[in-house]
């Protein structure tokens, strides 16, 4: 008797018409059906359930039972399982964050990593690894660096300088030059008017518009005036008419406190100049 006849006979004698559609499926390999199912082989097998499905179901039921037993035991002992779970998640998250910072900063070449463990938000402060003389040197240089850039705090400059100096093989001078280049290339860090480099591709400055000319010198100019920074140094600002089509250029008025980002730097007769082009953004600092 061939396999097809055997399967057909089993379907007819054991389960009647109900199993007939599964005979061809079993032959074709499209249905994993165990025709030898019996109470001796698997007392807890459900009708039509494969051995793998039965084991998976029994495992899930046992796992749920263990969870229930733990919950009942905790309730009897008066334990707050919800709070305990939240605390465990917080500890694991903090540890994961710490490991991330360690991998990141050590990969950057840092010699030390200092992470305060008393806060959920981990912060890295390399100044903790400096001696008093080294810290004094960093703070002294940070004062001068912050004075070259508007809206830059000395504390931020000192922290960034200490971080860069902490890298392996990095000298103090190299760290200073690296940060100065980094800030000079950052459009969010304003430069003092006195520090404008006429040969640079762009510059960001901020200050007060202290004067606007009644009539620009040429028809291509929309507005011309002077911007004065906190040190009292002025730069001539020219807003070209074609730049007014940009969405980030606004009409200036005397007394406005603005930041001019990505302006075109220059100089004329010893006077620093900033041109507002189609790539420039003028942001109000008056709130």
Residue ranges, CATH 2.40.50.140, the chain = 193-284
Query: Is 195 or 29 the better-scoring residue by pLDDT?
Result: 195
Q: Which CATH number fits domain 193-284: 3.40.470.10, 3.10.350.10, 2.40.50.140, 1.10.3720.10?
A: 2.40.50.140
Say which range, 16-25, 131-140, 165-174, 226-235, has the weakest mean pLDDT.
16-25
Checking if the pLDDT of 150 tops 90, the result is no
Among 166, 177, 36, CA closest to 106: 166
Q: Which long-range contacts (C-beta less than 8 Å, at least 24 apart) are formed by 58-63?
A: none
Q: Compute the distance between CA of residue 76 and CA of residue 171 in angstroms, rounded to an integer.
A: 63
Q: Are strands 271-276 and 234-240 parallel, antiparallel or unpaired?
A: parallel
Task: Report the chain's C-alpha Rg in angstroms.
Answer: 37
- DSSP character string of 5-19: HHHHHHHHHHSGGGG
- Lowest-confidence segment of 22-36, 147-161, 166-180 by average pLDDT: 22-36
Q: Which residues pair with 240 in a beta bridge?
A: 221
The Cβ of residue 160 has, within 10 Å, a number of other Cβ atoms equal to 20
Report the distance separating Cα 4 and Cα 113, nearest Å: 71
Secondary structure in 3-state letters for 132-177 = HHHHHHHHHHHHHHHHCECCCCHHHHHHHHHHHHCECCCCHHHHHH
Average pLDDT over all residues of the chain: 76
CA nearest to 265, candidates 214, 216, 194, 209: 194
187-209 pLDDT tens trace: 777 888 888 889 888 888 999 99
Q: Are 60 and 51 in contact (CB under 8 A)?
A: no
Rounded to an integer, what distance in angstroms lies between the CA atom of residue 262 and that of residue 195? Answer: 15
Average pLDDT of span 201-220: 89
Global pTM value? 0.46
Task: State the DSSP code for 45.
Answer: P
pLDDT value, residue 219: 87
DSSP category for residue 46: P
Token code pair at residue 118 = 């008393």
pLDDT at 239 over 80: yes
Q: Average pLDDT, stretch 113-137?
A: 70
* Residue 261 binned pLDDT confidence (cut-offs 50, 70, 90): confident
Least confident of 24-28, 183-187, 245-249: 24-28
Q: What is the pLDDT of residue 2?
A: 60
Nearest CA-CA partner of 260 in 245, 271, 243: 243
């Amino acid at each position: 008797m061939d396999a097809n006849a055997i399967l057909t006979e089993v379907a007819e004698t054991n389960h009647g018409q109900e199993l007939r559609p599964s005979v061809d499926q079993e032959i074709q390999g499209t249905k994993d059906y165990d025709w030898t199912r019996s109470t001796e082989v698997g007392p807890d097998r459900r009708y039509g359930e494969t051995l793998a499905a039965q084991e998976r179901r029994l495992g899930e039921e046992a796992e749920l039972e263990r969870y229930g037993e733990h919950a009942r035991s905790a309730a009897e002992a008066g334990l707050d399982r919800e709070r305990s779970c939240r605390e465990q998640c917080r500890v694991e998250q903090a540890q994961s964050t710490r490991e991330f910072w360690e991998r990141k900063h050590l990969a950057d070449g840092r010699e030390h990593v200092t992470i305060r463990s008393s806060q959920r938000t981990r912060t890295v402060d390399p100044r903790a690894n400096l001696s008093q003389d080294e810290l004094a040197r960093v703070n002294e240089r940070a004062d001068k660096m912050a004075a070259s850039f508007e809206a830059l705090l000395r504390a931020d400059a000192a922290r960034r300088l200490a971080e860069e100096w902490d890298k392996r093989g990095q000298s103090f001078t190299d760290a200073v030059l690296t940060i100065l280049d980094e800030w000079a290339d950052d459009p969010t860090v304003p430069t003092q008017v006195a520090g404008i480099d006429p040969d640079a591709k762009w510059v960001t400055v901020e200050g007060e518009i202290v004067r606007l000319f009644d009539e620009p010198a040429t028809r291509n100019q929309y507005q011309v005036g002077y911007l004065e920074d906190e040190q009292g140094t002025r730069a001539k600002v020219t807003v070209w008419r074609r730049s007014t089509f940009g969405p980030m250029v606004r009409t200036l008025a005397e007394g406005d406190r603005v930041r001019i980002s990505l302006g075109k730097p220059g100089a004329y007769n010893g006077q620093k100049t900033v041109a507002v082009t189609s790539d420039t953004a003028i942001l109000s600092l008056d709130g």
